[in-house]
Structure 1
Amino acid sequence: MINPNGCRWCGIEQRGHAIQYGPPGRHTWTQPTQQQIKDRMLARRAERET
């Protein structure tokens, strides 16, 4: 499950993120957009309900 406040690109929490490789290539932790946070929270809620 992805943390709602995880990296914009890969979802990993800021603490312990370091440098990762993902869709935008090599990246450091980047704050997620407000829409990403909302979508992740809704997905987490839906997963708990099923």
Structure 2
Amino acid sequence: MTTPNPTGCVHCGIERRIHGRQYTKAAGWHSWQQPTQQQIKDRMRARRDERTRP
């Protein structure tokens, strides 16, 4: 599975410019919402780990 972009929606990880209205079981129908600073940091680390994994 690919880690969402660090600035993707807090609920689903989809980028703001293509988000529109999305549905997830946890959040229901929602518009893009900014991720928390911790979420951004965790996503950045996860993406780096994916790139460096053999």
Q: Give the TM interval when normalised to the shorter protein.
A: over 0.9
Structure 2: state its 5+ residue gaps.
none
> Larger helix proportion, structure 1 or 2?
2
Corresponding position: 1:5 with 2:7:
yes
Q: Which residue of the partner structure matches residue 41 of structure 1?
A: 44
**Sequence identity percentage:** 62
TM, length-normalised to structure 2:
0.89
Give the aligned length: 50
| Equivalent residue in structure 2 for 1:20, among 4, 19, 22 | 22
Structure 1: state its 5+ residue gaps.
none
1:16 CA drift (Å): 1.2
CA RMSD of aligned residues (A): 0.6
Moved segments of 4+, more than 6 Å:
none
